[in-house]
Amino acid sequence: MKFLEDPMQTMGVGFVLTIVLVGIYLGLTGISAGEGDWGQMILRWVHFLAGITWIGLLYFFNLINASFLKSLDGPTKNIVIPKLMPAALNWFRHGATVTVLAGVLLYGHMYHKGGTGAVALAIGGLLGIIMMGNVHGIIWPNQKKIIAAVTAAAQGTPAPPEMAQWGRTALLASRVNFMLSIPMLFFMGAGSHFR
């Protein structure tokens, strides 16, 4: 069980397990591998995986991390922020991009095949696109400046006076995304229930 020690190896085993379980499922049900709409299925799976990564981190940042960072003193922040935030924000912004791109492709595929719930999915998708715009246009640029300033402060460079404003701007954009995620998730889930 050494693979459980490394998250990337654990994820790799999860993908292999998926393939094995799909094979077992096909064998048990008698469904042939050529019967399914694999393109739509894989797009939906990628959309879900990336979306869970993105929205999971969004909820972590808003419900846990923001208040945790406020509770730290300056020297501790100088240690925590450069170690935690680059990796977390990397998964966050790439999760947003993959979620939206897979969602747009999935929507186009479903719409082309006459899928139901197109308006509900379009509302959810539009909210997701706005949220991704906030990630790449506001949150990440401000967080990148904060990480650089905190890293420099750990080496003795004074923090720039505008750093507090960068943090506030990123926080407010993140809170907007947190708020938008609630109706976005409703409409993404409602798509298959509305005709």
pLDDT of residue 195: 61
**In whole angstroms, how far apart are CA 137 and each of 22, 93, 144, 181?**
39, 11, 12, 17
pLDDT above 70 covers a percentage of the chain that reads 99
pLDDT score for 168: 96
In CATH, what number does 37-191 get? 1.20.120
Domain boundaries, the chain: 1-36, 37-191
pLDDT band at 191, cuts 50/70/90?
confident
125-166 per-position pLDDT tens digit: 999 999 999 999 999 999 999 999 999 988 889 989 999 999
What is the arithmetic mean of pLDDT over 27-36?
A: 88
Buried b (16+ CB within 10 A) or exposed e, 144-169: ebbbebbeebeeeeeeeeebeebbeb
pTM above 0.85, yes or no: yes
Specify the 3-state DSSP secondary structure of 116: coil
